[in-house]
A and B are shown apart, each in its own frame.
Chain A
Amino acid sequence: MRIIKDTNINFMGNTKVAVFVSAVLILAGIGSMITKGGPKLSIDFKGGILVAVNYTEAMDINVVRSSLSSVVIDGQSFDFSQAEIKHFGDESNVAVRLPIMENEPEKFSRNFVNKMADAFPESVPENRTEFILSIEKVGPKIGAELSGDAVMAIFSALALILLYISIRFEWKYAVGAIAALTHDVLVTLGIFSILDYEVSLAVIAAFLTIVGYSLNDTIVIFDRVRENIKTMKKVTLDEIINKSINQSLNRTIITSLTTFFVVLVLFLAGGEVIHTFAFAMIVGVLVGTYSSIFIASPIVAKMGTSES
């Protein structure tokens, strides 16, 4: 059984279309980020408190919101109705994101959770420990450090990969690969911004995995190019690259599909906590496959290699 027989699609001839598609995607993403003031960052990077609780029945977010308009904790009264409140997984779970306050009252998060329970006493599980799903609190300093670490992580990964490819292939291949990776991360980041998804630590992990995955694809094609350059003389580099992509097309499609289905399962069945992670991966697999064919390869073709 074979998905496709020997193909001879002219990928290199269609790079203009690809450049256009990519440019539209990236510009839309950047535009969205500019209007929204940068990517939407989770508390991991911005600092803050995220409280997720579990009611016994479906809750209306607006009702929860109005119940939080005047909360008295330790003598101080707060208005949390402007806070970000949303469902967490299913309808009965509610997550509230609060900023870190100066002079925060003692036992603030405990008291806050208690107020959330007291507002709807009929809908709270009998065992109070089941009411709290999670409480996360990240101080502003930690948040800033984590952002720094995340940026460092992505850049050092890119630098190391660049180095590795330069050693194993040629620096021109490395440029193609890095361009493809940057493209992938920008497109994913843009889609996150357009869909209003938060960028958290887990999403950064997904980005790095996308980097690894997309590269995997790119290298398989480059490997073929390198091999074909040795055997096919008197043929233009464009043709060699085209042939290489066509030769590895079966593998590209099969691997992308299997990985795609696997992360799709993760997205659909993996639960709320890894939902955004899985989403980033889905986007990454699609974009990564596309970019190895339409971004990385044409750039190598344009720059030429020393062997051809």
Chain B
Amino acid sequence: MQSNLTPRYLIVGVILIWAIWALLPTWEYQQMSEEEKESLRTSGDLEKIESRIIRQGLDLKGGMYIVLEADIPTLMGNLADMRDERLDNVLQTAQEKSTAPDVDFFTVFEQEVNTHGLKLARYYHQYGASQEEIMAGVMEEADDAINRVLEILQNRVDQFGVAEPTIQKQGKHRIVVELAGIQDSDRARALLQSTALLEFYLVKNVGATNEMLAQLDEILRGTTDEEELIELTQGEKTKDIPEPEDSETAEEKDDDDDEGSKTVSELFGEKDSDPADTSKTAAEIFADNPLTGLLTAFSGDMGIQEKNAYAVRKLLEKPEVQSKLNNANGQFLFSHEPDLLQGSTTQEKYYRFYYLEKTPELTGGVVEEARADLGTLGSGSAGQPVVSLTMNSDGSRTWSRVTGANVGERISIVLDKKVHMAPSIREKIPSGRTQIEGFNSINEAKDIAIILRAGALPAPVNIIEERIVGPSLGADSIAQGTNAVIIGLVLVLIFMLVYYKASGFIADFALIWNILLVLAILASLEATLTLPGIAGLILTVGMSIDSNVIIFERIREELRKGKTPKAAIQAGYDRALTTIIDANVTTVIAALVLYQFGTGPIKGFATVLFWGILISMFTAVYVTRTIFNSITSRKGITSLSI
């Protein structure tokens, strides 16, 4: 008998020692103080330890989980050699149809192309002549684009400096980003989502601007009715706003006029300031000048009150306005952030508003190096955060030509369709160096420098799923989860001791090892422990004890039939084994299915459940059997404490 048991002891011993070895780093890490961690980090040893500890999921650690989807319709629009309304229509319908789940954009796109009889070669001749060739070509281009997006995002996140970021492709056009322990989720989101499209546009002169505004007012006066305008300026998307609110907004409007902000028409001298203006109601002003009525002078530029920005955007989106602007080769853009009017007592913030050329003189592709700094003394931006750019030789040449030819004009530096600054060109800039201003903080400037260095995304990305867990909720979850595990475990341990006495003790021993082994496996698989994972651990406690209950009840039955302890144990284990296997396999199936279909935290639950059950077959059956055998192998055992 003794010789039969030796290999069993060996197997159990080796596995248990392995579990301790695998869990040791986690234990040490838990005991370390922040200072010790810091000193290990500087010596570079911390990473080695961290790679061997149990990783905590975002729901426990706090952090953000983001799923980005490449905007393929926009990419397709950009790839087209020649864009027209027909193509835009097809792209838009295809986009709308592909918002249904599990619908591939390209499939719908091709269907739409066929139903509209669109000749793809007209737009995408660079990919081939036939429709098949072109479809294959653009799909390859899209795949390539998403891979570049992945690479660029990786680059950005690496430079941002987050511990253990995960950036993975999911499906064809999606990227999943997990950032643990992020405090400023907005900063991280901007860093990921920013297309980083840097463009330099010449600002159209005052005369052209004035003319365009007058023409747009004319167009809008004809097509926009008063009510719509009022609705827009109050920004009502919802109808439940109480009545008084309306008149209040209108009054505010008048107040602003009283304070001497001039309309743009006045500013540019199109008409004399009409004193009666101030007594006009807001509605009347809009009726006369739908667009310029919303504009005010703002330290040398046109300004738009923050609350009116939405209304202006809506007006500019109108097709008749767009086609007018297209014909004039111009576009209106807003400044990056709204500002307070200097010297004003009101807290109202204004966006600057610019009328620019339609085609950029230069784009961000020429940027070689970007660095965040504080503006030097003596310059206009002293002490302000700036980003200094260095361009490559091509860029420098163009930049030098553009600045040389337009001395005295203004050029705007536009990032992702938002104007950061629009300085006047004082002299030709031959070196290809330039500075961008207009950042809120040095952190923002740093982030912009990072994304400019990493390059622009070939396709815009949209956030389609986002989960942020604050640090305090994560800490609460850990504390409560751990508590629940300990209380549940203790309850079960006590029950087993009371009900099965010495045999219960054996089962308890196996149960504790079951939990330790699951944790050891998590540590060595570099799997993550999530909150549902902790729940899985508790369930494992419940389910693994079931195996012992089945076995023990069987042994009791056999003992009642009058068998000796040794024979009863033999029969009990043999009979119970098939039951345990059948019962556990079904739960394993459920766990595997969960793993397959689940995301993030649910996967964590499935992982723990899967390993928990598998290991329970070892601890609750094999380990306990070994202990029973070693007891009964001694001679003279006549009773069993069960």
Binding site for B on A (CB under 8 A): 1-2, 52, 54, 69-70, 72, 74-79, 81-82, 101, 105, 107, 110, 129-142, 144-150, 152-153, 156-157, 160-161, 164-165, 168, 201-202, 204-205, 208-209, 211-213, 215-216, 219-220, 222-224, 227, 247-248, 250-251, 254-255, 258-259, 261-263, 265-266, 269-271, 273-274, 277-278, 281
Question: In residues 391-429 of chain B, which contact A (Cβ within 8 Å)?
Answer: none
* A209-B609, A270-B484 given; A82·B470 CB < 8 A: no
Flag whether B483 is at the interface (Cβ < 8 A).
Answer: yes
CB-based nearest B residue for A78: B238
Q: Which residues of B contact A74 (CB under 8 A)?
A: 306, 309-310
Task: Enumerate chain A residues within 8 angstroms of B539, measured Cβ to Cβ.
Answer: 209, 259, 262-263, 281
How many angstroms between the C-alpha atoms of A120 and B589 in the bound complex? 50
Interface of A is mostly: helix
- The 8 A-B pairs at the shortest CB distance, nearest first, are namely A271-B480, A212-B587, A75-B310, A259-B542, A212-B590, A144-B101, A139-B464, A153-B597
Q: Cα distance A262–B410 when bound, in Å?
A: 71
Which residues, 565 to 594 on B, are CB-close (under 8 Å) to A?
575, 578-579, 582-587, 589-591, 593-594
Contact residue among A130, A136, A137, A262 (Cβ-Cβ distance under 8 Å from B488): A262
Binds A, one of B11-19, B545-553, B620-628: B545-553
The answer, yes or no, to whether B27 is at the interface (CB within 8 Å) is no
Q: Which residue of B has the minimal Cβ distance to A260?
A: B542
Report the minimal beta-carbon distance from A131 to chain B, rounded to whole angstroms: 8
Please determine whether B483 and A216 come into contact, CB atoms closer than 8 angstroms.
no
Report how far A133 CA is from B62 CA in the complex, Å: 9
- Shortest distance from the beta carbon of B579 to any chain A beta carbon, whole Å: 4
With a CB–CB cut-off of 8 A, which chain A residues contact B495?
A: 258, 261
Contact segment of B37-45, B200-208, B599-607: B599-607
- Pick from A77, A140, A165, A205: contact of B235, CB below 8 A: A77
User: In the complex, which of the residues A157, A205, A255 has the most CB atoms of chain B within 10 Å of its own CB atom?
Assistant: A205
- Nearest opposing residue in chain B for A160, CB measure: B589
Partner of A134, one of B238, B245, B470: B470
With a cutoff of 8 Å between Cβ atoms, the chain A residues found around residue B553 in the complex are 248, 250-251, 254
Selected from B467, B492, B589, the residue in CB contact (under 8 A) with A161 is B589
Tell me if B235 and A136 are in contact (CB < 8 A): no
Which of A70, A101, A209, A251 contacts B241 (CB under 8 A)? A70
B90 → chain A closest CB, angstroms = 20
Return chain A residues, CB-CB under 8 Å to B543.
213, 216, 259
> In the assembly, what is the distance between CA of A245 and CA of B99, in Å?
52
- Nearest CB in chain A to that of B480: its residue: A271
B interface, over-half SS: helix
Closest CB of chain A to B604's CB: distance in Å?
A: 10
Query: Contact between A137 and B466 (Cβ–Cβ < 8 Å)?
Result: yes
* Complexed CA–CA distance, A213 and B469 (Å): 30
Instruction: For A247, list chain B residues within 8 Å (CB).
Output: 557
A248 to chain B, nearest CB (A): 8
Using CB atoms, name the residue of chain A closest to B306: A75
Chain A residues with Cβ below 8 Å from B468 are: 132, 134-136
Query: Which of the segments B140-148, B253-261, B432-440, B530-538 contacts the partner chain?
Result: B530-538
Min distance, Cβ B254 to any Cβ of chain A, angstroms: 19
B476 adjacent to chain A (CB < 8 Å): yes
A137 — which chain B residues lie within 8 A by C-beta? 463, 465-467
User: Does B471 belong to the interface (CB within 8 Å)?
Assistant: yes
Minimum Cβ distance to chain B for residue A124 (Å):
13
Chain B residues lying within 8 Å of A168, measured Cβ to Cβ, are 582
B274 on the A face (CB < 8 A)? no
Q: Contacts A75-B311, A278-B535 hold; do A110 and B186 have CB atoms under 8 A apart? A: yes
- In contact, B598 and A153 (Cβ under 8 angstroms): yes
Whether A271 contacts B477 by the Cβ 8 Å rule is yes
Are B481 and A270 within 8 A (Cβ)? Answer: yes
A residues near B535, Cβ cutoff 8 Å:
266, 270, 274, 277-278
Q: A74-B310, A251-B553 known; A141 and B466 CB under 8 Å?
A: no
**Cβ of B294 to closest chain A Cβ, rounded Å:** 11
| Known contacts A77-B237, A270-B535: A153-B596 contact under CB 8 Å | yes
